[in-house]
A and B are shown apart, each in its own frame.
Chain A
Amino acid sequence: MFRLSQHPTIDTASKLVAVSIAMFAFVFVVMVPLYNVLCDALGINGKTSDEAYIAISTEVDVSRAITVQFVTSNNNEMPWGFKPSVTMMTVNPGAANDTVFLAANGTNEAMVAQAIPSISPSRAAEYFHKTECFCFNQQPLDANSSTQMPLQFIVDQALPRDIKTITLSYTLFDVTGMVADKKVAAR
């Protein structure tokens, strides 16, 4: 065995200190990334990838029709108007679809928003591919202006047959403060 010291007590104690430090590091280096990887890979918590999907196959399964429902929420006092242009679409797995979401900043200040997606049922998340999404980036908007934010997606052909409705919910957060902090830090 690997000895850290001649003295048995110091040897034991040193090894245990190493274990404690390793367990502390474990939280940051293993638990956090592992959680994110598992959520991404298995769609746990309805998390979808935050990177654009590159389509492999363009085969469309016309035998199945999936209803995709769009829901929007504003987090905690986020004052923007935020809604989907259509609340529901019927799509075939494998087909490329697109839609837009409408956002309006009715305040007198320029702000930055971040949309966070969440899919229900959560096991559908790994089959819902966004080829382009406004949620990949922060969205700045000047005072008293509005915009249309695009979403392009493909529902994977391998979606389990028992799922017929997928709900995509976006929560809009105000990240103006977070962006400002980073700008200050970067100077």
Chain B
Amino acid sequence: MNFKTVAKACVVSLLVSGPTWALAQNQINMAKGVTEVGAQIYGLHMLIFWICAVIGVAVFAVMFYSIIYHRKSRGVTPAQFHDSTQVEIIWTIIPFLILIGMAVPATSTLLEVYNTDDAEIDILITGYQWKWKYEYLDEQGDNVAFFSNLATSQEEIYNTDAKGANYLLSVDEPMVIPVDTKVRFLVTANDVIHSWWVPELAVKRDAIPGFINEAWTKVPTEGVYRGQCTELCGAYHGFMPIEVHAVSREEYDAWLAAKRSEKVAQTAAAQQALGFEELMASGEAVYRAQCSACHGAQGEGGVGNAIAGSAIALGEVAKHLEVGIKGVAGTAMQAFGGQLSDVDMAAVITYQRNAFGNNTGDIVQPADVVNHKQG
């Protein structure tokens, strides 16, 4: 294995692949992405890369020349020179000048990244262990907020089902933004430090609990852009992806309106009495999305306790609701009361009490959840 051969292979591949399309198999270079800032960053990356490549080739050429021609086995007599102030000065000054050349475009791109002025839409992004919450800030205070969970199933992760496309990169509720609109992100965290990164938008910002950070993007091209959490945040750090859908202005407006009416509908639904089958069906979906990672696809447990045959699932409904809504302090069991709608909470509690062989026959209605929350 000769370094030069490998280097040549890489150079050729880079020239051929150029701005690779995202999520390509075996991609070897950074995505150029779809945003203007992202293109600037990509350009900087390639500039520094080429400068390093040229310097590297030159430096290694000298070294390999020596290795080949300055060998004892060729019978050469070693020279004895051992310093030259002139040469030291030259190879201090020249690299210094090259660095200044790099610093200029780097500075202007950084200033661009930091310029969050004049955004039209503000989205509060909150990192949770282990999901994201997106809250669209509204002037009247009528914010649309929802959680965005990993949509890949436990069966795919644990190899009992085939892995789908966008394995580990798809979510149940994506962030939707309109194209050609400057969107400002306010990034924070609920518990530990997380980091929100979408490579094709070239946005990465740490989510620090108790503080907000700012970022922005303006996406010119409709599409789906995927990213991941990029700060170790606990066991499921690798399982909280990000999905951003950039759509036309009309589509965005329609989506936002639909989300608002969903909120209204959920409040209304919380008043109704739902049927057992309905509760079990949606409960199963909620269980798979929210609970199965820790409690097992068959309720067998894992990081979390088993649900099958558990004292809580078979015991008093009030205690079961308490655990689901308030969580268990000092453990990884979070308070889901703020994360699930009352309908979803009722459904998943009903499901846990009747699935996995539990068969209590208990039905928990959204109104029961509402009452429990009110104390």
Instruction: Say if the two chains contact directly (CB < 8 Å).
Output: yes
Spell out A's residues near B (CB within 8 Å): 45-47, 69, 71, 73-77, 79, 83-84, 86-88, 106-108, 116, 118-122, 143-144, 162-165, 167, 169, 171, 173
Spell out B's residues near A (CB within 8 Å): 116-119, 122, 124, 126, 137-141, 143, 186, 188, 190-191, 208-214, 326-327, 329, 334-335, 337-338, 373-375
Nearest CB in chain B: distance from A9 CB, A? 33
In the complex, residue of chain B having the shortest beta-carbon distance to the beta carbon of A115: B210
Task: Please name all residues of chain A whose beta carbon is closer than 8 Å to the beta carbon of B335 when the two chains form the complex.
Answer: 77, 79
Inter-subunit contact B326/A167 (CB<8 Å): no
Inter-subunit contact A106/B374 (CB<8 Å): yes
Nearest CB in chain A: distance from B318 CB, A? 13
Nearest CB in chain A: distance from B321 CB, A? 14
Q: Which of B139, B141, B186, B209 contacts A75 (CB 8 A)?
A: B209
Inter-subunit contact B117/A164 (CB<8 Å): yes
5 inter-chain pairs at a CB distance below 8 angstroms, sorted by A residue, are A73-B124, A75-B191, A77-B334, A165-B119, A167-B214
Task: Please name all residues of chain B whose beta carbon is closer than 8 Å to the beta carbon of A107 when the two chains form the complex.
Answer: 375
How distant is the Cα of A85 from the Cα of B59 in the complex, in angstroms? 65
How distant is the Cα of A116 from the Cα of B186 in the complex, in angstroms? 16
Inter-subunit contact A46/B191 (CB<8 Å): no
Q: Which of A69, A79, A122 contacts B326 (CB 8 A)?
A: A79
In the complex, residue of chain A having the shortest beta-carbon distance to the beta carbon of B118: A164
Task: Please name all residues of chain B whose beta carbon is closer than 8 Å to the beta carbon of A73 when the two chains form the complex.
Answer: 124, 126, 188, 190
Q: Which of B141, B210, B374 contacts A116 (CB 8 A)?
A: B210
Inter-subunit contact B117/A46 (CB<8 Å): no
Task: Please name all residues of chain A whose beta carbon is closer than 8 Å to the beta carbon of B338 when the two chains form the complex.
Answer: 74, 77, 79
Nearest CB in chain A: distance from B264 CB, A? 18
How distant is the Cα of A169 from the Cα of B184 in the complex, in angstroms? 14
Nearest CB in chain A: distance from B240 CB, A? 16
Q: Which of B143, B210, B326, B327 contacts A118 (CB 8 A)?
A: B210
Inter-subunit contact B375/A108 (CB<8 Å): yes
Inter-subunit contact B191/A118 (CB<8 Å): no
Q: Which of B139, B141, B209, B214 contacts A76 (CB 8 A)?
A: B209
Inter-subunit contact B211/A173 (CB<8 Å): no
Q: A74-B338, A87-B140, A106-B375 are in contact. Are A162 and B124 (CB under 8 A)?
A: no
Inter-subunit contact B210/A106 (CB<8 Å): no
How distant is the Cα of A48 from the Cα of B188 in the complex, in angstroms? 17
Q: Which of A45, A83, A87, A167 contacts B186 (CB 8 A)?
A: A167
Task: Please name all residues of chain A whose beta carbon is closer than 8 Å to the beta carbon of B186 when the two chains form the complex.
Answer: 71, 120, 167, 169
Nearest CB in chain B: distance from A71 CB, A? 6
